[in-house]
Amino acid sequence: MAVTDEAITKIKAMIVAGELRPGDRLPREKALSERLGLSRSSLREAIKALSLIRILDVRQGDGTYVTSLSPPLLLEALSFVVDFHEDATVLELLEVRRILEPAATAMACAHVDDATVERLYDLVDEVSEDTPVEDLVANDLELHRCIAEASGNGYVASLLDSLAGRTARARIWRGMTETQALSRTLAEHQAIVDAIAARQPDVARGWATVHVAGVERWLRQLL
């Protein structure tokens, strides 16, 4: 194992073991390098790497702190990587959505509150077949974001949010070129929200699968 990788592993172990908690300041460099049996240069490289992926926060003149370790913060790096994928790999992103989104939608049935259900119905009512495709996709993104957040799992919600924007172009393209794509999308949204409101996880999961798989199937045929 490279020395820097070893340093990263040891700092990670301290966080996992609870020796360092979110918001804690790391010991001074000399003390920490001696404690971990590492050179100060390898420790610096490890801290630099961990700060890039939002595990640590280096504050000039103050010290190095463990971040909040919140899901959106930790998954920023994934969002950055996703933005560089080529169009053909959107299919792979859609496959991931097809795995995660139905599960998140089913989970939402157990955690959703009445205010969120009302918000979901408002989003459904905001659009129609006459709505411009770009506005429909923006509405779609917000609807799915709300559902993912209602799942009660911050990591699932953040993962789906990271993937959603990257597949938006494919959804706009489909809406502009495929006959009845808009009407199907609206009907599927209505069915998903109805199932969530009725707290029917199996029905919600089924409709979410149909919804995401429709875009994936269309893009496969096109490519």
Tokens 């991931």 label which residue? 96
Please check the confidence at residue 82 and state whether its pLDDT lies above 50: no
Residues 105 and 87 in one domain: yes
Domain CATH for 59: 1.10.10.10
Residues 106 and 190 in one domain: yes
What tens digit of pLDDT does each residue of 10-51 get? 888 888 888 888 899 999 989 988 888 888 888 888 888 888
Residues 59 and 127 in one domain: no
Between 211 and 195, name the one with better pLDDT. Answer: 195
The separation between the first and the last C-alpha atoms of the chain, rounded to the nearest angstrom, is 42
Q: Note the pLDDT of residue 61.
A: 84
Per-residue confidence at 104, pLDDT binned at 50, 70, 90? very high
Between 210 and 69, name the one with better pLDDT. Answer: 210
Q: Note the pLDDT of residue 142.
A: 92
Domain CATH for 97: 1.20.120.530
Residues 154 and 120 in one domain: yes
127 φ, ψ to 5°?
-125, 160
Q: Note the pLDDT of residue 202.
A: 97
Per-residue confidence at 76, pLDDT binned at 50, 70, 90? low
Q: Note the pLDDT of residue 177.
A: 54
Distance CA 30, CA 40 (A): 7
Residues 100 and 26 in one domain: no
Distance CA 146, CA 223 (A): 31
Domain edge (last residue) among 69, 96, 114: 69
Q: Note the pLDDT of residue 178.
A: 59
Span 159-175, average pLDDT: 66
Parent domain of 41: 3-69
Read off the pTM: 0.60
Residues 48 and 120 in one domain: no
The one-character DSSP state at 87 is G
Q: What's the number of domains the chain is made of?
A: 2
- Residues 164 and 145 sit within 8 Å (Cβ to Cβ): yes
Domain edge (last residue) among 69, 86, 103: 69
Please check the confidence at residue 6 and state whether its pLDDT lies above 90: no
Q: Note the pLDDT of residue 81.
A: 46
Between 8 and 53, name the one with better pLDDT. Answer: 8
Residues 153 and 119 in one domain: yes
What tens digit of pLDDT does each residue of 181-209 get? 778 888 999 999 999 999 999 999 999 99
Q: Note the pLDDT of residue 136.
A: 79
Residues 11 and 119 in one domain: no
**Cβ contacts of 221 within 8 Å, gap of 6 or more:** none
Distance CA 80, CA 120 (A): 28
Please check the confidence at residue 2 and state whether its pLDDT lies above 80: no
Domain edge (last residue) among 30, 48, 69: 69
**Cβ contacts of 117 within 8 Å, gap of 6 or more:** 193, 196, 197
What tens digit of pLDDT does each residue of 124-145 get? 999 988 887 678 778 888 999 9
Residues 36 and 126 in one domain: no
Span 50-70, average pLDDT: 85
